[in-house]
């Protein structure tokens, strides 16, 4: 999931 | 990515490098809590379940691998490396950290973004990271003076989430639907837990004295 809800932070 | 988050990640990486330097250079882990290191290994393993499924950037993937491998290597070193394991303050590192794992998991079952395995483990890792430093802070209070590298390790570890709080504030004002309440609130609690450490660390730096936490 690379949408807004995806966790793109470490 | 913004400057606050990059500063946070670099500070976090710095804390790990300082800890690795301390253990490797002095062949000693005195003053370091194995329980906190074990909790961090659980935090990274639970948080980066998407390591092999989601790809955001090379940076993101490389950092995840670095955090997982380094935390496991430190735990392995403190448990099994002949020279290092002898210097572990076993009788001082007595915090019952299993309760932190259980409590964080129960909290994640209640508060999460979606009721899926990934999201529950992600929330669990966020809550667990907030309290993972407790065994280490208790150990510092019990173990009298703190050597410089250990003090710097805890300082960078506490500072990194402080940068992340600035990152969340920045993203809140620059992105439409930015509502990472779980990470933000948990990050505030995590940084607050370091407050007294930061105070005594600042005093030791100002008076150029050895860092000493009151028992």
ipTM of the complex: 0.87
Token pair of B102, please?
């259980």
Q: For B144-191, what is each residue's pLDDT tens digit?
A: 789 999 999 999 999 999 999 999 999 999 998 777 899 999 999 999
- pLDDT-derived band at A5, boundaries 50, 70, 90: low
Cβ contacts of B47 on chain A, cutoff 8 Å: 7
Token pair of B83, please?
């020279």
Report the C-alpha gap between B173 and B168 in whole angstroms: 9
Report the C-alpha gap between B74 and B128 in whole angstroms: 18
Report the C-alpha gap between B187 and B73 in whole angstroms: 25
Question: Among positive and negative, which fits the CA dihedral B93, B95, B96, B97?
Answer: negative
State whether residue B183 sits within 8 Å of chain A by CB.
yes
**Looking at chain A, which residue has its C-alpha nearest residue B161?**
A10
Q: What is the pLDDT of residue B178?
A: 79
Task: List C-alpha distances in Å: B39 to B11, B131, B162, B212.
Answer: 19, 9, 20, 24
Token pair of B8, please?
């946070």
**Per-residue pLDDT for B98 more than 70?**
yes
Task: Decide: B197 and B214 in contact? Cβ < 8 Å.
Answer: no
């Amino acid at each position: 999931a690379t949408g807004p809800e995806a966790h793109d932070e470490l | 990515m913004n400057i606050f988050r990059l500063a946070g990640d670099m500070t976090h990486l710095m804390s790990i490098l300082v800890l690795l330097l301390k253990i490797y250079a002095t062949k000693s882990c005195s003053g370091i809590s194995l329980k906190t290191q074990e909790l961090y290994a659980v935090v990274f393993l639970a948080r980066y379940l998407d390591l092999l499924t989601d790809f955001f950037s090379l940076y993101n993937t490389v950092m995840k691998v670095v955090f997982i491998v380094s935390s496991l290597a430190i735990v392995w070193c403190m448990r099994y490396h002949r020279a290092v394991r002898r210097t572990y303050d076993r009788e001082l590192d007595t915090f019952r950290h299993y309760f932190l794992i259980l409590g964080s998991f129960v909290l994640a079952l209640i508060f999460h973004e979606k009721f899926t395995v990934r999201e529950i483990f992600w929330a669990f890792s966020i809550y667990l990271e907030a309290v993972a430093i407790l065994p280490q802070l208790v150990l510092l209070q019990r173990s009298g003076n703190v050597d410089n590298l250990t003090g710097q390790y805890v300082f960078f570890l506490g500072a990194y989430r402080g940068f992340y709080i600035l990152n969340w504030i920045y993203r809140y004002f620059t992105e439409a639907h930015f509502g990472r309440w779980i990470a933000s609130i948990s990050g505030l609690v995590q940084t607050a837990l370091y407050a007294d450490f930061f105070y005594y660390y600042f005093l030791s730096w100002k008076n150029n004295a050895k860092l000493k936490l009151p028992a």
